[in-house]
Structure 1
């Protein structure tokens, strides 16, 4: 090992670990001479009450005399036929980096063993990594992992199960899942207090597999293979450079149950999750979140908790939305203005909707007016108010659910106290500074420098949003030009539907633009976020998420916002039309802009959901087939592909786990469609509910069956996604207020009923203005158009009356909703009282366990300054 590959502090720490490990580890760190025979499992699946017992045993490999637990696998491939070509220099540098990296892993105290699979002209190399007891203890304290002090009875429940039990109704949603993980009181691990922790007498089962994975990944992320200041450190860099092809922890055995079957107590954790969670037959069952957390970690479990919670809350919104839509269906044929349009024959000749478009009869729009009536009626106002309050309550109760899960999983103070600086940040930070909470020196990047970088990144974001606006303008021009071209066709049917054809094809083109720009911007946002030097992984992900969401918001919502609030507003009037780049501004189609908005929402929302689900089903299968075909073709001729396949080989055939960002983004954008434009499409919650029922099991199967096991990550909550959801909720209130006021016929109808006729007779004539005399003389015919204007084109008094009413409605609507939301926020505590009591109880137990006035629950050695009064009020029964 060269001197440049190991800094002084790192080598000193490695020496300390090696000295600590003496006496318990032999020179041969892992002995894996024999391959698993056919039918062998990954290890014992016997259930144990000790923390991590089941899980730790399941990933055990090695010989019976010297068993080891394979915590992590590194893989690289070698093309034996290209050893003498022009890539030799690159291959040589990769080999040197790889050897240096593996040497440094050994110095850090890891057990390293290499297994090779030789083919005729290629080879696949697997490096199996595991950590000794000394290394695990050292890093568990360094990473401030929380470990159990005392077991609790499992108290996981939900309100629907409790309600059904209280009513004595059988609960078909309940799923009896075996091997329920116990709950614990826990505190940060201290080596000096090892005996105080539950299960510390068994070194094999004390640390769970997920804890081991976190420790190994931390070591892999920080280990150098060259000069650290040049960025030559960490497994992420080696993966991006192609030095290694993959790095992953092992799954807990095969996913399928043997044909002869096993008892429930004999299933591995992966098999339990597949049978009781990821199976399509379980689509209506509660999710076993504690099992998900034990196997995948808190971050993945919190995603599925949020997805299930949101889907559950979609049910009442979907039911009410469907009832509102059915009410619209019943009103269509009894609505007086709709009947007037359909029976008007040639009473109303309308002005052309575009250049070269013909004059047209209002009665020809009967079908579109009827379709618009399905969404535009008094029930829509009620539903908009309902959804606004529904969204507020959803977020309030999610805060309670999130706080409960964070406590139950020991992550309540993770972001504030326990989270460590990112390895990339630690290596690139120019200086160190004391952490204001723990008092320890940590890598530090000047705030002023970061602010400058964030501002520079904001300029790039603004430029990308400008690109989205340019695409929107191009779509607008496309619609206008397409309407002109279709109207000039000799086909009478096409000419009559010119505006509708232009609008529909424009929606499809817009969806294509959206999907293309999304892929490009995500890569750019990742580069910008890395450059900004965020200290922790949570802050890094929050900054990245915000960038991408701003762009995706503009990308997905720009077209619906244009249709809802701008289209048809700046048209002018016959004889004095406004234009953009020489093309006349768009008017709303014959049925009005609200039906166009509903169409746009359905095309984007449903189209995106269908495309995403097809991609999530077909693409992984195709990629998985190709990965298996590629790897098995590398085996020597005649070798069986399955008989002697080792666990790490089977897992390498799976697809890499791509994280949760795309999953969250899909759901948050869906939440926006459900709330921001719900006044135009009451069926949006129903489509979202149907999609999410599929999405939960689709994502579950993806994690359990089709992807490699991700590194278990801790998380306190859903991160910046919650503030984004709160922002969408506030925007939805304002958006629906303006939709009802300015895009719907609700207020004009109400005004007409108050001032003219309560039965709405004559309402259609009331909403149509006459073309100015000059325009009529030029075309030798008169026509009507939708507007509240006088014959000379100026706005009428009715227009100004309605404008005042509309603005007043917006103010009243948003004040009522925000006021009710504020009251609900005050009435519903963010943290349940039962959780607050448990937190105090855990603090008390941690104080008793660690004693000596050491910092408890995350203060890492600092003196405890809590007032004594708070301790007197606690009793063991608290």
Structure 2
């Protein structure tokens, strides 16, 4: 009704210090109006007739917290109920004492005050391990919508400080206040940003060398005999498909040959070796860099299992730890399921191959070109776009499957579940991203057969062929499209999603109209101001945090996964894409600030987690480093034309006899790699209409890329090249692996200063314990 003022609820009156005396409301302004520090906030819907069961569970859960001496402040605002949770001091005293007498962390005498980040972590653990009579925990109550949300509050002062020094776009080229990030978000988030910053910093050398290699290839544009041989060739190549495709001029693919030289030259070999060694140096120097910070933070000897035991005792002194268990049957079932999932993902790669083949055939039948490019190039680009769409869809599927498999394992702790989930999710994502790239790198153009005996899908569509200049450009195109699309689109959605969600929530939630109870009772300006400072400010603060994007235990996992996948792109197939480190460097400079802005201003505060390393991710990075050596050796030895060119230059080319000539040693190389198919051969099945050129000239033979004789048997040159390829791969991998071991041995895992500091810290601690014993 107009002019009617909504009366405050009984809960709010009691909360504000308004009491009833002889039926009359009296005002009291006790010290409780002084703002209190709340460790956690729970949010639920207000009770109605349909939610009475949920309301009972909600009330029972709050009562269980109160039995543990937790202070709970309840504020009702329209259709939401906010519960401010404050833990008693004795809980933190117990934690400090147990931590001091354990080996979970280096303890120093100046750690007498429990930081708010530590308080939040302890309260978060207790809330998750508080059960009601139905044995439901807070996670279960969240799933059944008994509670709508839970979060720890942002600290306005520290949030503002982080925003000014770190979480802003203008700080892109500045360092990161890692210790301040650790104090606010905990060690786990701080180590992520420390790793990301270190990774970005060490990308500078490979980015510079990648540019030099690219420019080195660019310098051959006007002088390379390979380009001239393709661009000035009068050869006609065999049709790329059946029925509708016709012979085509090799010179029509001049642009393709130029692009190939950019990414397939002698500099590529050096760059691939450099990146394999760089991966080892990066990981070894990261260990040193990390050791300096964890020593400063006094978590060098931190133990996850002991930390968990301490928290369990703090929550319930009569607790019984969950025992370690292992089931071979269960592990076998999970392994079979993981294998089956990998087979499904590889099957999608085969589907991409079929898609490209069919698209190329349809474009050929339509006698049209997309963007005026080669048919196979068109199919490759469209296949890369489809691959990105599959990646987007499969990311959701992979997450669901990985979570289901982790549920089957019934791990002892959440940390173990998180580790298992990380391994499974990364494995699925790795195959999703790289299965198609492995096909392009090592199988494309090598299993397609030859004229008269082509390999066909369903007996109808011919497999793709490589360009006479090589297959490496196809791998480059595939990588470029996926990597660029992934980084640009991911960053756009990663930033705009939380911002847009926050904007919509602000539009949906009504403007806070609640006033202090004192505003309804007496016209006392001072009382109103004091009440406003207490309840309305607190409620507004809780509302602001509630409006932010929700975070969970796997929010940081998503950030790590994105960066580790990028690390894989940057190292595994870098021989095909020397500019990958440059793109990664540019992306990471943006990514650091994007993640900082998102965590500080657009998301609810993450629960601070303690750790002294990046966990299982370091093992994954080590595995990627080994795989990078193998893959780059195979790319150069198998996919690249480096070995065939080398064999031609020193065995078959004009300089093979060692005499000095005025002819370039690589002259005639393209013609040397081509074989002839004649229409007079009964095995050749090309139709006469396919052997008519665009000028209307009938030809009787065409060329195709392979080392075959007139009877389609492999020539001795093919077997020599094959032997040299395998010899190079073995030599390359052994040399690089030896270099990796030397680099790992040469670089200590921790700076000497850090080791000495730890030594003296332990010595002082033992002396202090001895003095306490003697006293």
| Cα contact 1:500–1:589 (8 A) shared by 2 | no
1:748 pairs with one of 620, 624, 644: 644
Q: Paired residue for 2:458?
A: 581
For the residue of structure 2 that corresponds to 1:396, the secondary structure is helix
C-alpha RMSD of the superposition: 3.1
Partner residue of 1:178? none
2:159 is aligned to 270
Assess if the C-alpha contact under 8 Å between 2:644 and 2:721 holds in 1. Answer: yes
Matched, 1:302 2:191: yes
- The alignment status of 1:92 with 2:92, answered yes or no, reads no
**Corresponding residue for residue 546 of structure 2:** 652
| d(CA) in 2 for partners of 1:101, 1:31 | 21
TM-aligned CA deviation for residue 497 of structure 1: 2.7
* Pair 1:110–1:800, CA change in 2 (3 A): same
1:112/1:130 contact within 8 Å kept: yes
In the alignment, which residue of structure 1 is the partner of 2:654?
757
Residues 700-744 of structure 1, C-alpha deviation per residue, up to 9 Å, x if partnerless?
001111111111101121111111111111111111111111111
Match of residue 537 from structure 1: 414
Q: Report what 1:721 is aligned to.
A: 617
| 1:841 Cα deviation after fit | 1.8
Q: Which deviations, in whole Å up to 9, do the C-alpha atoms of 1:643-673 show, x marking residues without a partner?
A: 8853212211111124211100111000110
| 3-state SS of 1:125 partner | strand
What secondary structure is seen at the aligned counterpart in 2 of 1:454? helix
Q: What is the SS of the residue equivalent to 1:710?
A: coil
Do 1:422 and 1:536's aligned partners in 2 also have CA atoms closer than 8 Å? no
Give yes or no for the alignment of 1:683 onto 2:545: no
In the alignment, is residue 462 of structure 1 matched against residue 370 of structure 2?
no
Q: In 2 relative to 1, CA 802–330 (structure 1 residues): closer, same or farther, beyond 3 Å? A: same
Partners of 1:396 and 1:93 in 2: CA distance: 56
CA deviation profile, 1:367-408 (whole Å, cap 9, x unmatched): 111111110100111111111111110001111112222222
1:645–1:130: structure 2 CA closer, same or farther, 3 Å change rule? closer
2:109 to 188, 194, 197: 197
Alignment-derived partner of residue 25 in structure 2: none
Partner Cα separation in structure 1 for residue 444 and residue 584 of structure 2: 27
Q: CA deviation at 1:636?
A: 7.0
Q: Show the counterpart of 1:7.
A: none
1:239 deviates by: 1.6
2:247 corresponds in structure 1 to 359
The TM-score normalised by the length of structure 1 is 0.76
Alignment deviations for residues 432-478 of structure 1 (CA, whole Å, 9 cap, x no partner) = 9xxxxxxx96221422x3x4333322222222212211211111111
Q: Are 1:766 and 2:726 matched, yes or no?
A: no
1:32 Cα deviation after fit: 5.7
Measured in 1, the distance between the counterparts of 2:538 and 2:268 equals: 63
Give the match for residue 26 of structure 2: none
Q: Cα distance, 1:108 vs. partner?
A: 1.2
Output one character per residue of 1:681-701: Cα deviation in whole Å (capped at 9) or x when no partner: 000000000100100000000
Contact between 1:508 and 1:603, CA under 8 Å: does it hold in 2?
yes
What secondary structure is seen at the aligned counterpart in 1 of 2:588? helix
2:64 corresponds in structure 1 to 104
Cα pair 1:354 1:480 within 8 Å, conserved: no
Q: Distance in 2 between matches of 1:209 and 1:147?
A: 22
Q: Give the distance between the partners of 2:432 and 2:193, measured in 1 at CA.
A: 26
| Aligned-partner SS, 2:123 | helix
- Aligned counterparts of 2:62 and 2:393: Cα–Cα separation in 1: 40
TM-score, with length taken from structure 2:
0.86
Alpha-carbon distance in structure 1 between the residues aligned to 2:386 and 2:684 = 37
CA change 1:631–1:374 in 2 (3 A) is same
Which of 383, 393, 400 aligns to 2:271? It is 383
Contact kept in structure 2, 1:249 and 1:709, CA below 8 Å: yes
Deviation at 1:414, TM superposition (A): 2.3
Equivalences for 1:542-561 in 2 at 5 Å?
542-561=419-438
CA contact (8 A) 1:486 1:495 kept: no
1:138 is aligned to 2:94: yes
The answer to whether the 8 Å contact 1:114/1:127 transfers is yes
Give the whole-Å Cα distance in 1 for the aligned partners of 2:603 and 2:370. Answer: 51
Change (3 A) 1:757 1:661: same
Task: Indicate the residue corresponding to 1:617 in structure 2.
Answer: 495
d(CA) in 2 for partners of 1:486, 1:807: 37
Provide the residue aligned with 1:216 in structure 2. Answer: 123
Kindly provide the CA deviation profile for residues 476-495 of structure 1, in whole angstroms up to 9, marking residues without a partner as x.
11111111110011437779
C-alpha distance in 2 between matches for 1:556 and 1:213: 37
Residue aligned with 2:321, SS? strand
- Alpha carbons of structure 1 residues 64 and 559: separation in structure 2 relative to 1, 3 Å: same
Distance (whole Å) between structure 2 residues aligned to residue 757 and residue 811 of structure 1: 29
Correspondence for 1:167: none
Which of the pair has the greater relative contact order for Cα pairs under 8 Å at 6+ separation? 2
Per-residue displacement from partner, 1:337-393 (whole Å, max 9, x unpaired)? 11011011xx21111122232211111111111111110100111111111111110
2: CA distance between counterparts of 1:499 and 1:642?
A: 65
Distance 1:199 1:551 in 2: 43
Aligned counterpart for 1:335 among listed residues 224, 227, 230: 224
Q: Of 305, 323, 348, which residue of structure 2 is paired with 1:444?
A: 323
Measured against aligned partners, the alpha-carbon deviations of 1:616-640 in whole angstroms (never above 9, x if no partner) come to 1211111111122222268679999
Considering fraction of residues, name the structure with more helix: 2
Cα distance, 1:142 vs structure 2: 4.9
Q: 1:75 aligns with which of 43, 62, 68?
A: 43
Q: Residue 106 of structure 2 contacts residue 301 of structure 2 at CA under 8 Å; is this kept in 1?
A: no
CA–CA separation in structure 2 for the residues paired with 1:133 and 1:351: 82
User: Does 1:793 pair with 2:707?
Assistant: no
Distance change (3 Å), C-alpha of 1:746 and 1:815:
same
CA shift in 2, pair 1:637/1:527, >3 Å: farther
1:417 CA drift (Å): 5.4
Q: CA deviation at 1:852?
A: 8.0
1:237 pairs with one of 130, 137, 140: 140
SS in 2 for 1:535: coil
Which residue of 480, 492, 508 maps to 2:357?
Answer: 480
Given the superposition, is the C-alpha separation of residues 478 and 199 from structure 1 closer, same or farther in structure 2, using an over 3 Å criterion? closer
- Deviations along 1:84-115, one digit per CA (max 9) or x if unpaired, are 4xxx1xx2221121111111101112111111
**Cα offset, 1:765, TM superposition:** 0.9
Matched with 2:527 is none
Q: Are the aligned partners of 1:72 and 1:249 in contact in 2 as well (CA < 8 Å)?
A: yes
Contact 1:117 1:635 in 2 (8 A): no
From 19, 30, 33, the equivalent of 2:16 is 33
The match for 1:404 is: 292
**Contact persistence 2:470–2:641 (CA under 8 A):** no
Structure 1 unaligned blocks of 5 or more: 1-27, 36-61, 149-185, 189-195, 201-205, 254-267, 433-439, 855-878
Distance in 1, matches of 2:350 and 2:37, equals 59
Q: Distance in 2 between matches of 1:829 and 1:494?
A: 53
Deviation digits for residues 535-587 of structure 1, max 9, x if unmatched? 33332221110000110010000111110001111111100111232232221
Give distance in 1, aligned partners of 2:369 and 2:396.
41
What stretches of structure 2 of length at least 5 have no aligned partner?
1-10, 19-29, 520-531, 656-664, 689-699
Question: Which residue does 2:562 correspond to in 1?
Answer: 666
Verify the 8 A CA contact 2:207 2:582 in the aligned structure 1. Answer: yes
Q: Which residue does 2:182 correspond to in 1?
A: 293
Question: 1: CA distance between counterparts of 2:370 and 2:183?
Answer: 62
Secondary structure, aligned partner of 2:42: strand
Shift in CA distance, 579/313, structure 1 to aligned 2, threshold 3 Å: same
Match of 1:39 in 2: none
